[in-house]
Amino acid sequence: MTDMERLATLAAKEADEAEVYKTSFRSTLAKSTLDRINSTEEKHSAGYGLRVIKDGRVGFSFFTREEDFGKALSTALSTSRHSQKLDIHFSDTGRFPKVKGLFDKKVSEMEEGEMVDLVVSSIDMQKQPGIDLLENFLTRYVGETSIATSSGCFAEYSETLTQFQPIVKSGEEAIAQEEAQSHGMVDTRGLTARGIEAALRTRKSAKLEGEHAIYLHRYAIEELLGKLFAPLIDADDVARKQSAWHDKLGKAVASESLSVYDDPTIDDGISSMPFDAEATPARRRAVIEGGMLASFLSDLSSARLLGTKTSGNAFRPSFTTQPEVGYSNLVFDSEERERMSEASGVVIQLVMGAHTANRATGDFSVGIDQSWLVKNGEFQHAVRKCTLVGNFFEILKNLRLADDDTSDSPYMGPSWVFNGKLV
Amino acid sequence: MSMEDILDRILSLCEGIDYADARFASEERTTILLKDSSVDRITSGTLAGYSVRVLKDGSWGLASSNDPSKLREVVSSAIKLAKASSKRSMGSSLAQEKVVSKRFEFKPKQDARDVTMDAKVNALKELDKEMLEKGISTASIGYSEMTREYRFHNTEGAKLYSSAPLTRFIFEAFVRGETLDVARKSLVRHAGFETEKDAHKTAAETAQSAAMMKNAGRVPSGNYDVIVDSHMGGTMSHEAVGHPCEADLILTGESVLSGKLGKKIANDCISMVDDGTLFPLSGFIPFDDEGTPSQKTQLIKDGTLVSYLHSRETAAKMNTHSTGNSRADSVYFFPIVRMTNTYFEPGDHSLEELVDLKKAVIIEGFSGGVVNPSTGEYQFAGQTGWLVENGEKTKFLKNLSIAGNVMETLKSVDALSKETGEPSAGMCGKSGQSVPVGDFSPWMRIRNARVLGS
C-alpha cells in the first residue's frame, strides 16, 4: 500500500469515502530583458488535497506536510456539513489508458546553464537590423500527479513540459510575441525566427476597416476559446442555465462541416493525461459533431447537477483547490479545408479583451494586434491596431477551417476562417 | 525551527555572494462559494513556504520551496542559478536605502478564524436572501479570508515582520430578461469578519444594479462627453497611468511615458497618486518585498508627470530611490515593480456641475478591459450607465465601453468632482504574477471620448 492509499484509507475511517490528491513539481524559469539574462528561478512544491464524502456531501482541505493530515481531515469533515448533497462517489477504477510522450528524461535532467544558453542563443538571433529586443521566457516543468481513493483507486503519472515565449519589438509600435509548449524540448530557435518575422512584418502598418475574410491564428483562437467557448460547454454553467447553450444539446450550433473533440489521450498532446483530477480515465469525447452540439464537459459534481456521468474533465490548478471543469486538448476538425497558401483576407494573430464579450448574446469587440493583409497567400501589409467586432455564435455557425494545424498548445487545430468586420 | 530561525539559517548559508534576501510566508485560508443559494464549495487549509534571492556579480538567482528540510538545497540552487545567469549579466545592483527593522501586526475586531463555519455560511445565505429580494434571478457570492504572516530578512541586516488578515466578499447578481445580464461588485479589506457588516450594502448595490439592467437600453457607438464613476476612474488610474509609470517598463522602452518625466502629460486638473500606506485598502502593504517601507508617491501633479514607481533595482538604474513598489505574488516569485493603491485626487466640482451638458454618457462600474502600455491604447468595459440629456439622466444603459489613447484622454479630462467614491479592489496581473491592489477616483469628465455601445 502506498502512503497515499494509507492516508485515503485512514480518512475513510471517519468519512464514507476519501480521496487524496498529490502534486509535486520543480519548475525553472530563465528570463531575459533586452539583451541580458534578467533572472532565473526555481520552485519546488509538493502538497495534498484531501476530499471526503460524508452523508453524500463533499468536504475539502489541503496540507503540505503529512503530520498535518489529522487537522486537514478534521477541516474537510467540518466543511462537508455545509456542502450541497450530491451523492457522488470517488473513482474506484484502476485501469487507465496509456498516453505516450508526456515525460522526457532529457528535459527533466536539463541543467539551469543549458536553459540560460538557449535563451542567450535566442537573444543573439534577435540582434539584427530592425529588431529591438524585449523579453524571452523559457520555463521547464517536471511534475508528478497521483490520486488514491478509499474505493481502491490509485493512479499516478509524471510529466515534463517546456514553454518558450520570445517578445520582440520593431519600430515604435510593433511588438510581436510567439509562444509554444512541448513535453519535450520546445523549438526555441524556430519560435524566435517566427517572432522576428512577425515583428518585421508589422513594423509599418496601414489602416484597414470594413468587412474582410478573417484568418484567426491559434493565439487569438485560444483567447476566444477560454473566455467564450469553454463556459458554453461547462456542465456547471449549463446546469445553472448560465450557458447560452444550456438548451441546445442535439441542435445545430456550428457549421455542419465542423466537429470539435475534447481528447486527453493524444500522444504528446500538451494537455494529455491518462486520467483527470478525480482519477476518471481519460477518453476522447465529441463536443460538436457535424455542427450539432453533442455533449458538455463535466466533473463528478457538475455531472450530478446535470444528471449525467462525468466526462472526465476535472482539473485542479493546484492541490489547494477543488476540481473544476476544463478542457484538455480541444481538437477542431472539418473535412473541408481552406488553403492558407491561397488565403485572401486579414490574418489576425492576437486579440485582446475577449473577457469583455457578452456571453449571453455572443457579441464581442476585441482589439487586434500582430495582423496583416494577405492576397493569394502573399503578405501585403500590416494592419494597424483596430477592433474586430462580431458575434461569436454567428462565427461558429459560419466557421471554415484552414489547413495550418498546430499541436503546440491545448488548442489542436488550424486557423479559423470567417467573415468579420474591422472598425 | 521558527520562521525567523529559518530565514537566519538561509542567510548564513549564502556564502560568496554580494547580497541575499530571504522571505517566509504562512497563510491560513478559507474560501466559501455560494451559488444558487447553496454552498458550492468550501476550501480551507494552511500553506507555508520560503525563498531566497541571491545577487552575484550583477546576476540574480531565486529558489523556493515549501519543505523546510531543504534549506541547504534551495540556497545552493539559488547561487547556482545566479552563476548561470552571469553569462549575460544584467549588471543589477540595488539603490542604497536605509536598513529597516519593522514589525506590523494588525489584530482585527473579529478574527475570522474564531468565527464558526456555521456562522460564516449563515451570513452568506442571509446576504444571498437580501440580494434575491431585490428582484434578481440568481446570485453568486464568493467569500475568502486569509491571515498572512510574513517575514523578510536580508544580508544588509533588515528584519521585517507583518501579520494581517485580508477578507474578500465578491458578489455577482444575475438577471434574466431578453438576455442574461450580470452585475459584479466586491468588498475587500485588510480586516476581519467585521467586514461582513458592510457587505450588506455592497450586496444590495450589486443586486439593484442587476435588477435595473433588465430594462436597460443601449447607446449607439460614437463620440460623447463621458463622466466616469469611482470604479471606472480608479481603473483608469491603475491601468492607463499606473502601469505606464512602472519603471521596469520605462527602462525597456515599453511605456508610453518613457522620457516624459517632468513633462506635461495631462490637463492641470489631474493629479494622481500611488499610496501603499492606505490601510485597510486591499493594496496596503506595510513594506514591500525588498523590505522598503510603503509610501505615498505623487505620480502626476497638476498635469505634470513627477515620478515613476520604483524597486531598489530600477531605482539604482535610474539613480533615484525606491518608492516601495517592489512586490511579488508570493514568496515563490521575484519581486517586480507593482502598484499598491492608485487614485486621482479630487477636483472642485459637484457631480451636478459635471453632468450639466446637452448630451453626455455616464459610465458606472468596471467589468474588464485592456491597455497597451507601450502605445497607451485602451478599452474599458463599464457595467451600467446613464444617457444624460440637458443635464438630466434620461435612460439607464448597459453594456458600454470607453476606448481611446491614454495620452489623449488625460488631456481631455476637464473636470473632477469634490467627492471620491468607494474604493475598488482587484488582483493586478503582470508577468504571470498577481497581487492585490486598490483604486478609487472622483467623478471625472472626459470630453469627446469614444464610447462603444450598440
What percentage of chain B reaches a pLDDT higher than 90? Answer: 84
Grid coordinates representing B378 are 485602451
Query: What would the pLDDT profile of B274-297 be if each residue is shown by its tens digit?
Result: 999 999 999 999 999 999 999 999
- Judging contacts by C-beta atoms under 8 Å, the chain A residues touching residue B54 are none
pTM of the model: 0.90
**pLDDT > 90? residue B71:** yes
Inspect the interface and report whether the beta carbons of A356 and B174 lie closer than 8 Å.
no
Nearest-Å Rg of the Cα atoms of chain B is: 23
pLDDT the model gives residue B370 = 78
Quick one: average pLDDT of A383-409?
A: 91
* B9: Cβ contacts below 8 Å, ≥ 6 apart: B1, B71
pLDDT band for A187, please (50, 70, 90 cuts). very high
Residue A23 clears pLDDT 90, i.e. is over it: yes
**pLDDT of res. A282:** 96
Give the C-alpha separation, B7 to B132, whole Å: 50
Q: How far is A258 from chain B (nearest CA, A)?
A: 27
> Exposure of B163 by Cβ count < 10 A (0-12 exposed, 13-18 middle, 19+ buried)?
middle
Give yes or no for residue A6 having a pLDDT over 90. yes
Residue A296 has pLDDT above 90, yes or no: yes
pLDDT band at B252 (very low <50, low <70, confident <90, very high): confident
pLDDT value, residue A384: 86
Helix (H, G, I), strand (E, B) or coil at A316: coil
Mean pLDDT for the stretch of residues B57-85: 94
Neighbours of A128 (CB within 10 A): 11
User: Can you tell me the distance from the alpha carbon of A188 to that of A166, in angstroms, rounded to the nearest whole number?
Assistant: 8
- Within 13 A of B250's CA, how many CA atoms are on the CB side? 24
End-to-end Cα distance, chain B: 62
Q: Is the pLDDT of residue B66 over 90?
A: yes
Residue identified by cell 490637463 is: B267
Residues A22 and A146 sit within 8 Å (Cβ to Cβ): yes
Closest CA to B145 of B172, B161, B165, B125: B165
Q: Are A19 and A30 in contact (CB under 8 A)?
A: no
Average pLDDT over residues B67-96: 93
- Tell me if chain B has a CB within 8 Å of the CB of A39: yes
Span A173-186, mean pLDDT? 90
**Is pLDDT of B62 > 90?**
yes
The ipTM (two decimal places) reads: 0.86
Which is higher by pLDDT, B340 or A132? B340
The pLDDT > 70 percentage for chain B reads: 100
Q: How far is A335 from chain B (nearest CA, A)?
A: 35
Q: Is the peptide bond before B165 cis (omega within 30 degrees of 0)?
A: no
What stretch of H or E contains A192? Answer: helix A188-201
Q: Angle CA(A139)–CA(A220)–CA(A166) in degrees, nearest 5?
A: 30
User: What mean pLDDT value characterizes chain A?
Assistant: 93
The residue among B242, B340, B221, B234 whose CA lies nearest residue B292 is: B340
Which of B48, B117, B377 is nearest residue A82 as measured by Cβ atoms? B117
B40 with A84: Cβ contact below 8 A: yes
What pLDDT is recorded for position B293? 96
Extract the C-alpha cell encoding B208.
439593484
Question: For A222-271, how does the pLDDT look when each residue is reduced to its tens digit (9 = 90+)?
Answer: 999 998 999 999 999 999 888 999 999 999 999 999 999 999 999 999 99
pLDDT of B316 strictly over 80: yes
Instruction: State how far the Cα of A7 lies from the Cα of B447, in Å rounded to an integer.
Output: 64
Total residues found in chain B within this entry? 454
Please return the burial class of B78, using the count of CB atoms within 10 Å of its CB with bins 0-12, 13-18 and 19+. Answer: buried
> Chain-centre distance of CA A64, in angstroms?
26
Placement of cell 552563476 in the chain: B83
First CA to last CA across chain A, in angstroms?
63
The Cα-based distances of A135 to A185, B60, B92, B428 in angstroms read 19, 16, 16, 20
Pairwise CA distance, residues A110 & A103, whole Å: 13
- A83 near B CB under 8 A: yes
Element (H, E) at A325: strand A324-325
| φ, ψ (nearest 5 deg) of residue B83 | -65, -40
A14-23, A259-268, A285-294, B247-256: least confidently modelled range: B247-256
In this complex, do B67 and A385 lie within 8 Å of one another by their Cβ atoms?
A: no
The predicted structure's pLDDT at residue A176: 86
Name the pLDDT band for B253 (thresholds 50, 70, 90): confident
Interface of A with B in 175-204 (CB under 8 A): 175
Distance CA A53, CA A77 (A): 8
In whole angstroms, what is the distance from residue B273 CA to residue A140 CA?
39
> Which whole number is the average pLDDT over B108-114?
96
Closest-CA residue of B relative to A137 is: B431
Q: Which residues pair with A416 in a beta bridge?
A: A216, A401
Residue B90: pLDDT above 90? Answer: no
Rounded-to-integer distance, Cα A177 and Cα A168, Å: 7
Q: What is the mean pLDDT of residues A383-393?
A: 89
Question: Which class for B262: exposed (0-12), middle (13-18), buried (19 or more C-beta within 10 A)?
Answer: exposed
Residue A353 pLDDT > 80: no
Identity (one letter) of the amino acid at A246?
Answer: H
- Amino acid identity of B142? G
Least confident range of A69-73, A187-191, B84-88, B133-137: B84-88
CA distance B294 to B325: 7
Could you tell me what percentage of chain A is helix, strand and coil, using 3-state DSSP and rounding each to the nearest 5? 25, 40, 40
Q: What is the pLDDT of residue A406?
A: 86
Distance from CA of A79 to the nearest CA of B (A): 6
Q: Which residues in chain A have Cβ-Cβ distances shorter than 8 Å to B36? A: 240
Is it the case that residue B372 has pLDDT exceeding 80? no
> What is the edge-to-edge ordering of all strands in the sheet holding A292-293?
A292-293, A285-289, A259-262, A330-333, A411-412
How large is the average pLDDT for residues B206-211?
Answer: 95
pLDDT at B240: 85
CB contact under 8 A, A60 and B41: yes
| Residue B288 Cα, gap to closest chain A Cα (Å) | 19
Q: What is the pLDDT of residue A169?
A: 86
Which residue does chain B place closest to A43, by CA atoms? Answer: B64
Q: Using one digit for the tens of pLDDT, what is the confidence trace for A63-81?
A: 998 889 999 999 999 999 9
- Give the number of beta-carbon pairs within 8 Å between A and B: 182
DSSP string over A35-71: TEEEEEEEEEEEEEEEEEEETTEEEEEEESSGGGHHH
A43 contacts on B by Cβ (under 8 Å)? 63-65, 332
Taking a C-beta distance cutoff of 8 angstroms, is the pair B158, B194 a contact?
Answer: no
3-state SS, one letter per residue, for chain B = CCHHHHHHHHHHHCCCCCEEEEEEEEEEEEEEEEECCEEEEEEEEEEEEEEEEEEECCEEEEEEECCHHHHHHHHHHHHHHHHHHHHHECCCCCCCCCCCEEEEECCCCCCHHHCCHHHHHHHHHHHHHHHHCCCCCEEEEEEEEEEEEEEEEECCCCEEEEEEEEEEEEEEEEEECCCEEEEEEEEEECCCCCHHHHHHHHHHHHHHHHHHHCCCECCCCEEEEEEECHHHHHHHHHHHHHHHHEHHHHHCCCCCCCCCCCCECCCCCCCEEEECCCCCCCCCCCECCCCCECCEEEEEECCEECCCECCHHHHHHCCCCCCCCEECCCCCCCCEECCCEEEECCCCECHHHHCCCCEEEEEECCCEEEECCCCCEEEEECCEEEEEECCEEEEEEECCEEEEEHHHHHHHEEEEEEEECCCEEEEEEECCEEEEEEEECEEEEEEEEEEECC
Residue range B1-50, pLDDT digits in tens: 888 999 999 999 999 999 999 999 999 999 999 999 999 889 999 999 99
Amino acid at B194: E
pLDDT value for A386: 84
Give the pLDDT confidence score for residue B80 in this predicted structure. 94
Query: At A170, is the pLDDT very low, low, confident or very high (cuts 50, 70, 90)?
Result: confident
Closest-CA distance of chain A to residue B1, Å: 15
In the numeric block, which cell numbers belong to residue A185? 524540448
